[in-house]
Amino acid sequence: MTELIGHDCQASAKPNEWSIHCIFVKDGFRGKGLSNKLISAAIEYAKDRAASIISAFPIPEEHREKFPANEAEFSGRFSTYSKMGFVPQGETSDFYKRMELVI
């Protein structure tokens, strides 16, 4: 099992699980659906390579104020992943909420 210290998360032992750890859209380009396009492309890429689960680690709104400006944006938005079919899994840590999409 691989530990990813910077994200306070651990890789899953689930077979064929892929993860989206970071996405970021620069100020001035937000609100145009680019996050959705990046996540959709990652899902298709993983599907084409036999992934069965995709996990993501967005920082929930209630924890975003703990981070310097824009730093929490690198994980993507909880609401974006929810709209794309990802569902929360397990407890929220001090930093992130694990979400999964079964494909």
**pLDDT tens-digit profile, the chain (103 residues):** 344 434 444 556 678 899 998 888 888 998 899 999 999 999 999 999 999 999 998 988 888 888 877 777 778 888 999 999 999 998 777 778 889 999 9
Distances (CA, A) of 7 to 12, 28, 75, 83: 14, 26, 9, 22
**DSSP element (H, E) containing 102:** strand 99-102
Give the total number of structural domains in the chain: 1
Instruction: Specify which residues 55 forms β-bridges with.
Output: 19, 100
**Predicted TM-score (pTM) of this structure:** 0.79
> Residue 38's domain is classified under what CATH number?
3.40.630.30
- Where on the phi/psi map is residue 32: left (φ > 0), alpha (ψ -120 to 50), or beta? alpha
Residue 38 belongs to domain spanning: 3-102
Amino acid, res. 98: R
The whole-angstrom separation of Cα 96 and Cα 49 is 26
